[in-house]
Chain A
Amino acid sequence: MRFKSIQAKVLIALVICLVLGTGCVVELMHYFTAENSRALGTEAATGSQKLFTILEAREISKMTAVSDALIANTGVRDAFAARDRSRLLALTAPLYPQLKSEGITNWMFHTSEPDMSVFLRLHNPAKFGDHLNRFMDKEVVRTHAIVAGNELAKAGFAVRIIRPVYDAKGAVTGYLEFGEELGQFIHALKSQTGNDYGLLLNKKFIDKQFWADSSATLKRRDNWDDNAGFVVADRTTANDNIIRFHGDLATVPQLGTVLEQYRDANSVFVRAIFPIRDAAGNTVGAMFVVRDITAVYAEMRKTQNILLAVTVASLSIGILLMLMLLNRFIFKRLQRILTAATRLVGGDFETEIKTDSDDEVGQLEHLFEQFRNIFVTVMAEISETQVSK
């Protein structure tokens, strides 16, 4: 087959089609794999966000129920109304270990407005008299109703409820607060979803010295300087890949976003993030979600390879079939005409082109045969003329 022949050109064109077709399929596969990974990441983020909300609501209900029982206790109510710290501590301290085992880490009584200072901290009884001046404090004073939500204190982030406490005459004597550190939520999330989590808090809302003090209290390394804009409050894995983030936490979309898919050793993960808002609606932090998609990814790659093999095989068979058809219906017949024409010029007047086809090449074959007959006649006449001379 000569390089300049139509057959060679067609073959080159078909091979190019094969390469392009395969390339398109590969690109399409990569696109769908990326989209599937993204969908898995989105699912992990939205699922975790929903679960987080459910856990949060459940803990708020629990703290509300405990507070209901507590303010119904006349001994506690009267000791608080009388501002008898020792008696209040004596009555409530035995309950604290039990509540703590249920996750309630913060328990405070606040005096009423306008002073509104901490009267008693069950989780740190030696410290009292300070003014917290947080959004939820202001809200409970304004509404005199239960206020619940997340709030970032100087040392950490907790889901809290704060509610008014009334004396026997129905006057507000102060406020009762329960709180649960959000850090413990991520371990509950991990146990339910299998994903890994990392809770980030925006430094803008935290006091550096307080963070250092609380780190010392909790026997946690002071990680303030590890990242520029945020601190890692807690995480379910020691792997640093979980907390790679260079954006602004405040710009994380409400429904969360998928950050990336990455490989670590032989595993494939997808990383997503969703915002954590406080009771005032500020984005004070974010939750990283890392989902191990190794098994799904392996399945996707397997499907991808099968599809690729099937595509290449079917395209190759198609090309082979097309070449066979072209060869049979065009190239061989053209070659036969070329050979007959050459032989005719060389003196072989007997090589006929027989055809019953009426396609384009068939028309050429008919035409050639007519030319051949004319040529033979002319040659015979010339020979006769030469003989007669």
Chain B
Amino acid sequence: MSQLYDLKVLIEAKIAAGGLDSAEVRGKIALKAGRLLSFISPNTPDDPAGVAKLKQAIKDVLNINA
């Protein structure tokens, strides 16, 4: 599994745990990361820039260090 997918799983878990509005949180993170979370699958290849951007988006929106 890719690191990107792990991050996606982390996001989903946080949304479920916090009872957050899934569409809103996912949308905010996607807009900040420049990537649709729906297109991230276990087979999605990692790219360092994409991972960094997604981590930064998670920090900005969910305030956690992934």
Contact = CB atoms under 8 A, between A and B. Distances in A.
B27 to A, nearest CB: 3
Interface range for A: 10 to 19
B38 A342 contact: no
Interface in B8-25: 22-25
Given A342-B31, A379-B38, A347 B26 contact: yes
Nearest to A343: B23
Nearest to A351: B23
B2 to A, nearest CB: 17
Identify whether the interface residues of A are mostly helix, strand, loop, or mixed: helix
A346 interface: yes
Contacts of B31: 342, 345
B14 to A, nearest CB: 14
A347 B22 contact: yes
A314 interface: no
Contacts of B26: 345-347
A343 B38 contact: no
Contacts of B62: none
Nearest to B28: A342
A348 interface: yes
A79 interface: no
Contacts of B22: 346-347
A26 interface: no
A342 B26 CA distance: 8
A339 interface: yes
Interface in B30-60: 30-31, 36-38
A348 B28 CA distance: 12
A351 B31 CA distance: 17
Contacts of B27: 341-348
Contacts of B37: 346-347
Contact of A348 (B23, B29, B36): B23
19 contacts: A339-B24, A341-B27, A342-B24, A342-B27, A342-B31, A344-B27, A345-B27, A345-B30, A345-B36, A346-B23, A346-B25, A346-B28, A346-B30, A347-B22, A347-B23, A347-B26, A347-B37, A348-B27, A379-B38
Interface of A: 339, 341-348, 351, 379
- Listed from nearest, the 3 A-B pairs whose CB atoms lie closest are A346-B27, A348-B23, A346-B26
